[in-house]
Amino acid sequence: MTVSLSAIAQQLGAELKGSDAQVSAMATLAEACGGDLSLCLDRRHLSALRQTRAAAVLIPAARASWAEEAPGSVLLVKEPRLAMAQTLAILYPPALIKPGVCPGALVDASAEVHAQARIEPGACVGPGTIVGAGTLVESGVVLGPEVVVGAACRLGANCVVRKGCRLGDRVHLASGVVIGARGFGVAVGPDGPLSIPQVGTVVIEDDVEIGANSTVDRATLGVTRIGRGSKIDNLVQVGHNVQIGKHVLIAAQVGLAGSVEIGDAVVMGGQAGVADHVKVGARAQIGGKAGVTSAVAAGERVAGFPAIPVRQWLRQQWRLRKPAKHKTASNQGEKK
Tell me the pLDDT tens digit for each residue of 214-271.
999 999 999 999 999 999 999 999 999 999 999 999 999 999 999 999 999 999 999 9
Q: Which residue is catalytic, options 45, 114, 172, 240?
A: 240
Active site residue 247: no
% of the chain beyond a pLDDT of 70: 96
User: pLDDT, tens digit, for every residue of 18-29?
Assistant: 999 999 999 999
pLDDT at 314: 87
pLDDT at 334: 52
* DSSP-based three-state secondary structure for 259: coil
What is the Cα Rg of the chain in Å? 26
CA distances from 216 to 21, 73, 190, 290 (A): 46, 46, 30, 21
Burial of 116 (0-12, 13-18, 19+ CB in 10 A): middle
**Averaged pLDDT for residues 165-190:** 96
Of the pLDDT bands very low, low, confident and very high (cuts 50, 70, 90), residue 322 is confident
Residue 333 confidence (pLDDT):
53
With beta carbons less than 8 A apart as the criterion, state whether 59 and 76 touch.
yes
Identify the pLDDT of residue 325: 59
Q: For the chain, which residues make up each domain, given as ranges? A: 3-91, 100-317
Per-residue pLDDT, averaged over 125-137, amounts to 98
- Supply the mean pLDDT for the chain: 94
Other C-beta atoms closer than 10 Å to the C-beta of 6 total 14
The pTM of the full predicted model, rounded to 2 decimals, is 0.89
Contact 200, 164 (CB under 8 A): no
Predicted local distance difference test score (pLDDT) of residue 326: 53
CATH number of 100-317: 2.160.10.10
What pLDDT sits at residue 317? Answer: 85
Fold exhibited by the domain 3-91: 3.40.1390
| pLDDT beyond 70 at 85 | yes
DSSP string, 269-314: -TT-EE-TT-EE-TT-EE-TT-EE-S-B-TT-EEETTTTEEHHHHH
Helix (H) / strand (E) containing 225: strand 223-226
